[in-house]
């Protein structure tokens, strides 16, 4: 079977809306894929402000933003289809939305972007609210990309996503995945203070020095002592980590360098712990994707630290680095359409695996 679907992903780093049009091939339970077209549509300053401030809105204004953003997503999909001449080729859209609130302990998660609005704009079937059912079953609702890693990219020992939040998947049975620590969102916030969108290639961080006192304070945070399954909301980075860094009073380059050290140490500690829990298999490989994989300095530091554990860091081609999550959102939508499990319970800690996502039939019967 061949499925042609669009996946939409808006990450916590707010660098833009990732759109992927992919073809998925399924034969006897074996899956393959091709990214046919992909793009990242930068947010305007207005949309960045609206998404950043969403969690402080009153209920009615939040719901109005949810609707507005859904129509915006649908319009961007229509533009993408038009520019890439994909008319009559797209069978399904799967939208992750933009995460605002994430409180799995209270069985609640929220992503902006009304699926009904996307369906109305595009007049195509749309799958949205991808995390909600897992949360209702007592899971963390995150990470949800491991199903795609397992079905599409299964030759690596570890999968690392360096996005707004760094998360890891371990290719074992049962499959394990969880959030490690904040990453690009905090790095970008620090770079913003110098008027830059981000620290390109980690150049500013490479010129700084590690502040041992700040590093120790960050590494002592309680989240890092919690067992998996576990997940992070964006506000752990923006409301906990960032104020601690700012409170240190150190220069931006030193702050960036220290936080890069924090990220790579937490990843190393995580991999070391995972290796201790399973039989040694010799040299292992880790596939690194997400925007942070383009941060040359961060990746160099990561390679040095994981090299001590005999784990090789592999950075794939730019298309997969940039668009892995949007690609997997499309796959999750296809699995929902097929009424097959698309969230792994061993990853999220839910009572059982689930077929997640609300389906909105936008086309005319």
- Could you read off the pLDDT of 17-59 as tens digits, one per residue? 999 999 999 999 899 999 999 999 999 999 999 999 999 999 9
Q: Report the percent of the chain where pLDDT is more than 70.
A: 99
Residues whose CB is less than 8 angstroms from the CB of residue 155 and which lie 6 or more positions away in sequence, other chains included: none
**Please, what is the average pLDDT of the chain?**
95
CATH H-level, domain 2-140+341-361: superfamily: ATPase, nucleotide binding domain (3.30.420.40)
Question: What is the per-residue pLDDT for 12?
Answer: 73
Both structure tokens of 47: 């949309």
What percent of the chain is helix, strand and coil (3-state, nearest 5)?
45, 25, 30
Domain boundaries, the chain: 2-140+341-361, 147-320
Model-level pTM greater than 0.85? yes
Higher-scoring residue by pLDDT: 154, 177? 177
- Could you read off the pLDDT of 159-201 as tens digits, one per residue? 999 998 999 999 888 889 999 999 999 999 999 999 999 999 9
Q: Report the percent of the chain where pLDDT is more than 90.
A: 89
* Interval 216-230 mean pLDDT: 96
Nearest to 95 by CA among 326, 321, 338, 323: 326
Distance CA 174, CA 112 (A): 31
CB 316 within 8 A of CB 289: yes
Query: Fold identical between 2-140+341-361 and 147-320?
Result: yes
- Could you read off the pLDDT of 65-94 as tens digits, one per residue? 999 999 999 999 999 999 999 999 999 999
* Interval 88-111 mean pLDDT: 95
* pLDDT over threshold 90, residue 106: yes
Q: Which CATH number fits domain 147-320: 3.40.250.10, 3.30.70.240, 3.30.200.20, 3.30.420.40?
A: 3.30.420.40
Question: What is the per-residue pLDDT for 364?
Answer: 78
Nearest to 94 by CA among 362, 351, 319: 362
* pLDDT over threshold 70, residue 365: no
């Amino acid at each position: 079977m061949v499925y042609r679907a669009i996946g939409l992903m808006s990450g916590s780093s707010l660098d833009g809306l990732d759109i992927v049009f992919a073809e998925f091939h399924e034969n006897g339970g074996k899956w393959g894929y091709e990214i046919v077209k992909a793009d990242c549509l930068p947010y305007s300053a207005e949309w960045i402000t609206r998404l950043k401030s969403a969690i402080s809105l009153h209920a009615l204004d939040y719901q109005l933003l949810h609707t507005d953003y859904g129509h915006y997503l649908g319009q961007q999909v229509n533009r993408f289809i038009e520019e890439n001449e994909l008319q009559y080729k797209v069978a399904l859209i799967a939208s992750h939305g933009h995460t605002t609130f994430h409180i799995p302990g209270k069985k609640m998660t929220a992503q902006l972007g009304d699926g009904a609005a996307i369906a109305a704009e595009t007049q195509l079937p749309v799958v949205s609210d991808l995390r909600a059912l897992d949360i209702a079953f007592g899971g963390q609702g995150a990470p949800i990309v491991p199903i795609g890693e397992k079905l599409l990219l299964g030759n690596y020992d570890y999968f690392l996503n360096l996005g707004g939040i760094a998360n890891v998947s371990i290719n074992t049975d049962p499959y394990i995945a969880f959030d490690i620590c904040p990453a690009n969102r905090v790095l970008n916030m620090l770079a913003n203070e110098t008027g830059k969108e981000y620290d390109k290639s980690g150049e500013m961080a490479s010129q700084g020095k590690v502040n041992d006192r700040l590093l120790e304070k960050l590494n002592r945070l309680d989240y890092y002592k919690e067992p998996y399954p576990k997940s992070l909301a964006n506000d752990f980075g923006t409301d906990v980590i960032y104020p601690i860094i700012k409170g240190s009073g150190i220069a931006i380059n030193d702050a960036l360098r220290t936080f890069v050290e924090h990220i790579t140490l937490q990843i190393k500690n995580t991999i070391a712990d995972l290796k201790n829990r399973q039989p040694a298999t010799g040299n292992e490989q880790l596939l690194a994707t997400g925007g942070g994989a383009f941060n040359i300095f961060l990746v160099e530091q990561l390679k040095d630290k994981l090299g001590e554990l005999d784990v090789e860091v592999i950075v794939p081609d730019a298309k997969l680095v940039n668009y892995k999550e949007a690609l997997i959102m499309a796959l999750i939508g296809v699995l929902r359409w097929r009424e097959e499990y698309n969230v792994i319970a061993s990853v999220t800690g839910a009572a059982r695996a689930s077929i997640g996502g609300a389906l909105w039939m936008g086309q005319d019967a």
